[in-house]
């Protein structure tokens, strides 16, 4: 027991563990049951080696953090929660996501306050994702940029393309194989700008590559954003306002092939062309060349036909002129023959008369 020198009274001093253990007992007494809580995941903190997850949770107001706490999802709980969550939302748990979860409020002397998450309601997050998607669409329409990229002229031939994808993506490989092996032998020039295609960091990664492409926009006919080879999980980033705005305002036509979903993302809505899968994008590019090829072949056929018709018409006219000339020539010759005959007859008659007159003159 220590003495307070100022008041000369006994001073009670506690160890840190005394205080924290007391707080822990209070939490165990008053927070013995789990609670349903709403929050946003600011950082996921998933550790594959252990399988555990330690999300940092926040509540924001006017863009500023109002409350913050650590949480825990043990491996077995995480497996069940993630499986159910992805089945419903088609998205993995990720940073920036609003969730409603059931958790025990825990306090330990060693780690302080935390929330032990035992369940997450995916329908709440699904509703939040839908709300954020509609908000992005309405905001872009209000700003007058929703249809902007669709107004960018699409070149007749898409020969030089910038591709935003992952180098290991099956969709990227499918695109290249389809383009390289087109039956007509058309040749395409492509450059890969690698980026994350889903989940945390995808929005900024894709935007960063779009900025790089914009710096050399004159070197490309269009931009392709493609992903494939997986399921539809992880498409929430394509509903993000910042990424959709970047696509809508891009100076080159943007063509998307980012999934098999019938529920279009905002990026797909604002892109100049959406062809669903990377293979569909490749066929679209090939079809442009084939259409141009068909038009050239049709033009050649039309020129040949027109030339043939022109030659036939000229030949017919020549034959008609030849026949007319021949008829005119024969008529002229016949006329001349008749004239000569008449002249010859007249000459004979004149000579006969002259001879007759000369004989009469001699007889006198």
pLDDT at 306: 78
| Confidence class for position 291, pLDDT limits 50, 70, 90 | confident
Pairing of strands 98-108, 35-43: antiparallel
Give this prediction's pTM.
0.69
pLDDT at 147: 95
Half-sphere exposure of 332 (CA within 13 A, CB side): 6
- What percent of the chain has a predicted confidence (pLDDT) above 90? 43
Domain range summary for the chain, segments of one domain joined by +: 11-120, 142-291
Query: Which region among 108-112, 206-210, 327-331 has the lowest average model confidence (pLDDT)?
Result: 327-331
Q: Are 11-120 and 142-291 in the same CATH fold?
A: no
CATH fold of 142-291: Rossmann fold (3.40.50)
Task: With beta carbons less than 8 A apart as the criterion, state whether 105 and 30 touch.
Answer: no
| Confidence class for position 201, pLDDT limits 50, 70, 90 | confident
Task: With beta carbons less than 8 A apart as the criterion, state whether 131 and 239 touch.
Answer: no
More confident residue, 287 or 63: 287
Query: Which region among 6-20, 68-82, 206-220, 265-279 has the lowest average model confidence (pLDDT)?
Result: 6-20
Strand order in the sheet with 273-274: 189-194, 160-165, 222-226, 254-257, 273-274
| Confidence class for position 359, pLDDT limits 50, 70, 90 | low
Q: First CA to last CA across the chain, in angstroms?
A: 200
For the domain bounded by 11-120, which CATH number is listed? 2.40.50.140
| Confidence class for position 92, pLDDT limits 50, 70, 90 | confident
pLDDT at 248: 96
Half-sphere exposure of 63 (CA within 13 A, CB side): 0
Q: What b/e sequence results for 222-244 when a residue is b if at least 16 CB atoms lie within 10 Å of its CB, and e otherwise?
A: bbbbbbbeeeebbbbbbbbbebb
Q: What is the mean pLDDT of residues 136-146?
A: 94
Summarised one tens digit per residue, pLDDT across range 17-56 is 888 888 888 888 888 889 999 999 988 999 999 999 999 9
pLDDT at 8: 59
C-alpha–C-alpha distance, residues 255 and 224, integer Å:
5
pLDDT at 2: 52
Please report which helix (H) or strand (E) contains residue 30, including its range. Answer: helix 16-30
The number of beta carbons lying within 10 Å of the beta carbon of residue 195 is 23
C-alpha–C-alpha distance, residues 27 and 78, integer Å:
24
Q: Which DSSP category does 301 fall into?
A: H
Q: What is the mean pLDDT of residues 167-189?
A: 91
What value does the mean pLDDT of the chain take?
A: 85
pLDDT at 297: 82
204: buried, middle or exposed (CB in 10 Å: 19+, 13-18, 0-12)?
A: middle
pLDDT at 316: 81
């Amino acid at each position: 027991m220590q003495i307070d020198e100022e008041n000369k009274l006994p001073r009670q001093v506690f160890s840190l563990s005394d205080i924290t253990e007391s707080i822990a007992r209070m939490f165990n007494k008053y927070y013995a049951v789990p609670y349903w809580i709403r929050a946003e995941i600011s950082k996921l903190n998933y550790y594959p080696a252990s399988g555990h997850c330690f999300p940092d949770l926040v509540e924001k107001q006017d863009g500023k953090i109002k409350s913050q706490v650590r949480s825990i999802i043990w491996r077995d709980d995480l497996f069940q929660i993630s499986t159910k969550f992805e089945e419903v939302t088609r998205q993995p748990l990720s940073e920036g996501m609003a969730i409603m979860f059931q958790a025990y409020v825990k306090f330990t002397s060693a780690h302080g306050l935390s929330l032990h998450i035992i369940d997450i309601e995916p329908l709440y997050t699904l509703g939040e994702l839908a709300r954020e998607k509609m908000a992005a669409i309405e905001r872009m329409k209000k700003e007058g940029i929703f249809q902007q990229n669709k107004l960018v002229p699409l070149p007749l031939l898409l020969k030089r393309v910038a591709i935003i994808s992952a180098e290991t993506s099956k969709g990227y490989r499918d695109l290249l194989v389809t383009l390289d092996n087109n039956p007509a032998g058309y040749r395409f020039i492509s450059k890969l700008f690698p980026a994350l295609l889903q989940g945390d960091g995808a929005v900024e990664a894709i935007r960063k590559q779009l900025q790089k492409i914009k710096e050399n926009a004159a070197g490309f006919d269009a931009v392709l954003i493609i992903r494939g080879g997986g399921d539809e999980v992880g498409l929430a980033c394509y509903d993000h306002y910042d990424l959709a705005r970047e696509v809508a305002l891009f100076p080159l036509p943007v063509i998307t092939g980012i999934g098999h979903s019938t529920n279009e993302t905002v990026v797909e809505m604002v892109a100049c062309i959406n062809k669903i899968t990377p293979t569909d994008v490749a066929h679209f590019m090939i079809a442009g060349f084939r259409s141009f090829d068909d038009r050239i072949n049709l033009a050649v056929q039309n020129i040949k036909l027109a030339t043939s018709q022109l030659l036939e018409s000229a030949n017919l006219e020549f034959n008609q002129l030849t026949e007319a000339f021949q008829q005119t020539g024969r008529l002229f010759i016949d006329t001349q023959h008749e004239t000569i005959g008449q002249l010859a007859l007249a000459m004979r008659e004149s000579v006969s008369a002259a001879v007759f007159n000369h004989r009469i003159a001699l007889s006198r």
